[in-house]
Amino acid sequence: MSEQAQLSTDHLLGIKDLNSADIHLLFETADEFKEVINRPIKKVPSLRDITIANIFFESSTRTRISFELAEKRLSADIVNFSASSSSVNKGETLLDTVNNILAMKVDMIVMRHPAPGAPHFLANHIKANIINAGDGTHEHPTQALLDAYSIRERLGDVAGKKVAIFGDILHSRVALSNIFCLQKLGAEVMVCGPPTLIPKYISTLGVRVSHDVRQTLAWCDVANILRIQLERQNIKYFPSLREYARYFGINKALLDTLDKEILIMHPGPINRGVEITSDVADSAHSIILDQVENGVAIRMAVLFLLAGRRK
Ligand code: CP
């Protein structure tokens, strides 16, 4: 890789802390890594002197595998930690757990945690670089970066585009990080879902709010469709999944009523037949698997640029 410019931060805690120059630098670096991961030999030696611990206190498929592959493609040494099989079960605190991992000469921590602010807490108490892989209902910065990068790849630019985020905005860390990222890049954002799943404060962030799926689809260039996060809901926010699918699910018949084509996105995991039907998820307009592919290049860019701040 060429001589690198720098990010403005030592950690990736949230998109809120990045400026637009940081995001453009991450995208330009990801462009180079996307070329690397499509070569027959998908590896560069950039992080061969860096050790990274992936510590996951919540379930994950995409983020966990994507970070691990990104680290391996950069030749980092890695260790994986799963809370369910660790001494956290014996009462060890988060800070003690992480300090013990760092005592084994780990340089960077990638962490997913159910508590909003957990990575910010760590960043105030330890020296390693922290990358937030999702903190409760707060932020999921690498998801927002890969989402915006995928829009840029398909539509040429994010600036000026109209992006609608559908679904369970109230419990979604993807929604908040996407709103920050898209706005910093000059997109217009609308959120759409049942009133019970849209937090009151959201309009103070400068986004439009709608409860009408048809009107929102007619407005947007891009539909980013989120799942209902039942695991975070301890009360009923709507009568049934069947009713949700009927009034807020996105299906081909709805898209066929539009006089334009829109890009279909979903961060995964998908609940087919609830927020999105298979004929939409698997359609030619869907870039859901491109998002997953781009996640590796974006995470390589994040790790590479944060490691560059250590030199
Ligand atoms: N999009 C996302 O964060 O997926 P996982 O929960 O599988 O990592």
At 89, which CATH number? Answer: 3.40.50.1370
pLDDT at 84 (0 to 100): 82
Mean pLDDT, rounded, for 189-203: 96
**Does residue 37 register a pLDDT over 70?**
yes
Give domain status of residue 50, yes or no. Answer: yes
Mean pLDDT of the chain: 95
Which ranges in 185-287 belong to alpha helices (H)? 213-219, 241-248, 252-256, 278-281
Is residue 192 located within the same domain as residue 222? yes
Is residue 241 located within the same domain as residue 299? no
pTM here is 0.95
Alpha-carbon distance values, 171 to 141, 174, 206, 221, 293 (Å): 15, 9, 19, 24, 25
Q: Which atom of ligand 1 is nearest to the CA of 112?
A: 8
Q: Are 53 and 108 in contact (CB under 8 A)?
A: yes
Q: Residue 172: beta bridge partners?
A: none
Ligand 1 atom 5: residue of nearest CA: 60
259 CA distance to ligand 1 middle (Å): 32
Q: Which atom of ligand 1 is nearest to the CA of 268?
A: 1
Give domain status of residue 82, yes or no. Answer: yes
Number of structural domains in the chain: 2
| Of 209, 212, 215, 227, residue with least CA distance to 265 | 227
- The contacts of residue 77 (CB under 8 Å, 6+ apart) are 50, 51, 52
pLDDT at 310 (0 to 100): 80
Ligand 1 pocket test, candidate residues 54, 56, 57, 63, most atoms within 8 A of CB:
63
- The contacts of residue 285 (CB under 8 Å, 6+ apart) are 255, 261, 262, 263, 264
Strands (E), the chain: 51-56, 77-82, 108-113, 129-135, 162-166, 188-192, 208-210, 222-225, 263-265
